[in-house]
């Protein structure tokens, strides 16, 4: 008897542990830093160097000294509070709120960073902790929906074994937090709609979760908006004409969401920037972006086997169960609401996304696994063992998809030119755009390096006999260009 009661718990722990270890493995194998990740550290620590402030004149420093100047260089508790206050006033990154950056800054309290591997690894542990929360909440959502620990464990496994969710976790940007809050908001929405006679305390908690979800990025506003619209329709159908009570709860939820969101980050809805303008500009290319948005659904095939056929079957089963089984109507209706909200959000995001890359839709990938879970739930009504067989085959195929076609991002890449030519301290840098210093943080060696921010310093650098190469973020006439990479050009001086 004891063994039977412990079996689900042991299974949850085992599956989650395996998935976490996979993330640790891929994080450990990262040898380069994405420029946006370095920007995450600069924004969180509220430093100016590497953001909008160049180093004055000509400076000589090692790679560790550069990283220390740009990243987390104040480990004190008071320093953390000071940075949090500045992030609360304005985080300097208009597509996102201060939420992720504040969590990251708190996470680095007591930690002083200079090395790329340690800084990325420690930041990655925050994401891995958030990923573990996502797994637990997705399992909870699946169990509440389908009443089966087996289906819940199945959901956790296929929802988080994909290359997309692993890539999301090991990338030190706000997208992992967004994934976690997406799952949290979905489960809170399910708890509310399954029994609308919720207490004031629950509605306040629901509003706080909604506020946190909204603060994970502007695309989250679309996610919350779609779900709340569909939830409202479903709630009106289920409230048995008790509209006054529903209105009161809705008012508490809306007020709590607005107040909590404003208190956490007042400027959130009152700032504008390049990303917002770029997204809005997509409406001028309507036909092209609609086509690209629809085509982007093909990305799901990289993570889930036969996803389109399975999704169609799941919706058909939901309709059948709604019609012929009254006791299954609520689960079927909720599943359609959830699947529809995810599909609409995915299409809208890929319409407005600055680049049609999977990074923007990674946060919703774990919830997509519910299409398989609903089929398992429908089969389980007729045969438990047939449902187990379906889940076993699907789990194997999902794992096989990851092994054979899955590509975890941010893994080792060819050494960039600015790193290759400067490894021995034989290159000098003239970087006019301060933010481009980020591209040096993951590879600048601990040799002494000359760094300047003004092209007028070129003659002085040429006179230095120890300098063989000049690396700049602009074209230089009359010099022998030997290589280039991204922002940078490499010129041979001698």
Torsion (CA) 171, 177, 183, 187 in degrees, nearest 10 = 160
Q: Are 490 and 471 in contact (CB under 8 A)?
A: yes
pLDDT at 239: 72
- Number of residues that this document lists for the chain: 494
Q: Are 335 and 314 in contact (CB under 8 A)?
A: yes
Domains in the chain: boundaries: 125-405, 417-492
Helix (H, G, I), strand (E, B) or coil at 461: helix
Beta carbons within 8 Å of 86's beta carbon, 6+ residues apart = 46
The residues with which 492 forms a beta bridge, in sequence order, are 469, 480
The residues with which 387 forms a beta bridge, in sequence order, are none
**Which element (helix H / strand E) includes 359?**
none
Please give the Cα distance from 31 to 110 (Å, whole number): 25
Q: What is the pLDDT along the chain (494 residues), one digit of tens a residue?
A: 345 678 889 999 999 999 999 999 999 999 888 889 999 999 999 999 988 888 888 999 999 999 999 999 999 999 999 999 999 999 988 888 999 999 999 999 998 888 888 999 999 999 999 999 999 999 999 999 999 999 999 999 999 999 999 999 999 999 999 999 999 999 999 999 988 777 899 999 999 999 999 999 989 999 999 999 999 998 888 876 778 888 999 999 999 999 999 999 999 877 665 555 555 555 556 777 778 778 878 888 889 999 999 999 999 999 999 998 887 889 999 999 999 999 999 999 988 887 778 899 999 999 999 999 999 999 999 999 999 999 999 999 999 999 988 789 988 767 788 888 888 888 999 999 999 998 888 888 888 999 999 999 999 998 888 899 999 999 998 899 999 988 899 999 98
Beta strands in 375-479 (DSSP E): 427-430, 449-452, 469-472
Handedness of CA 171, 173, 174, 177 (dihedral sign): positive
Handedness of CA 313, 318, 322, 327 (dihedral sign): positive
pLDDT at 2: 41
CB atoms near residue 177 (< 10 Å): 26
Please give the Cα distance from 47 to 227 (Å, whole number): 37
CB atoms near residue 42 (< 10 Å): 26
Task: Please tell me what DSSP assigns to residue 369.
Answer: T
End-to-end alpha carbon distance in the chain:
79
DSSP 266-330: TTGGG---HHHHHHHHGGGGHHHHHHHHHHGGGGGGGTSTTHHHHHHHHHHHHHHHHHH-GGGHH
Please give the Cα distance from 410 to 36 (Å, whole number): 12
Please give the Cα distance from 442 to 48 (Å, whole number): 18
pLDDT at 328: 86
pTM for the model stands at: 0.92
């Amino acid at each position: 008897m004891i063994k039977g009661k412990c079996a689900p718990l042991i299974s949850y722990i085992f599956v989650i542990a395996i998935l976490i270890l996979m993330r640790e493995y891929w994080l450990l194998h990262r040898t380069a830093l994405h420029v946006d990740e370095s920007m995450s550290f600069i924004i969180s620590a509220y430093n100016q160097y590497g953001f909008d402030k160049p180093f004055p004149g000509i400076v000589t420093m090692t790679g560790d000294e550069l990283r220390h100047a740009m990243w987390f260089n104040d480990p004190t508790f008071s320093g953390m509070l000071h940075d949090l206050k500045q992030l609360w006033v304005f985080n300097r990154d208009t597509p996102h709120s201060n939420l992720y950056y504040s969590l990251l800054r708190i996470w680095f309290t007591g930690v002083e960073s200079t090395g790329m591997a340690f800084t990325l690894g420690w930041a990655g542990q925050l994401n891995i902790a958030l990923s573990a929360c996502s797994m637990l909440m997705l399992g909870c959502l699946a169990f509440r929906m389908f009443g089966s620990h087996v289906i819940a464990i199945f959901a956790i496994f296929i929802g988080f074994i994909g290359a997309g969710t692993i890539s999301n976790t090991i990338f030190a940007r706000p997208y992992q937090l967004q994934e976690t809050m997406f799952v949290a908001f979905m489960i809170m929405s399910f708890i509310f709609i399954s029994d609308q006679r919720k207490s004031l305390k629950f509605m306040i908690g629901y509003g706080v979760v909604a506020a946190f979800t909204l603060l994970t990025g502007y695309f989250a506003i679309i996610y919350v908006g779609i779900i709340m619209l569909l939830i409202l329709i479903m709630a009106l159908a289920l409230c048995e004409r008790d509209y006054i009570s529903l209105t009161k709860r809705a008012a508490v939820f809306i007020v709590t969401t607005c107040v909590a969101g404003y208190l956490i980050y007042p400027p959130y809805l009152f700032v504008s920037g390049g990303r917002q303008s770029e997204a809005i500009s997509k409406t001028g290319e309507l036909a092209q972006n609609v086509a690209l948005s629809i085509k982007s659904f093909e990305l799901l095939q990289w993570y889930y086997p036969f996803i389109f056929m399975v999704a169609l079957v799941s919706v058909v089963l939901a309709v059948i169960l709604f019609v012929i089984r009254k006791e299954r109507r609520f689960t079927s209706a909720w599943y359609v609401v959830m699947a529809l909200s995810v599909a609409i959000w995915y299409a809208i995001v890929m319409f407005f996304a600055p680049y049609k890359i999977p990074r923007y839709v990674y946060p919703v990938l774990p919830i997509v696994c519910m299409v398989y879970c609903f089929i398992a739930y429908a089969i389980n009504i007729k045969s438990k063992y047939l449902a187990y067989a379906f889940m076993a085959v699907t789990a194997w195929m999902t794992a096989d998809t990851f092994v054979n076609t899955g590509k975890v991002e941010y893994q080792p890449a060819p050494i960039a030119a600015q790193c290759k030519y400067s490894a021995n301290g034989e290159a000098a840098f003239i970087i006019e755009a301060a933010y481009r210093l980020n591209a040096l943080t993951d590879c600048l060696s601990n040799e002494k390096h000359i760094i300047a921010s003004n092209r007028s310093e070129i003659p002085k650098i040429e006179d230095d006999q120890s300098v063989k190469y000049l690396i700049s973020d602009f074209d230089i006439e009359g010099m022998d260009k030997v290589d280039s990479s991204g922002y940078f050009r490499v010129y041979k001086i001698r």
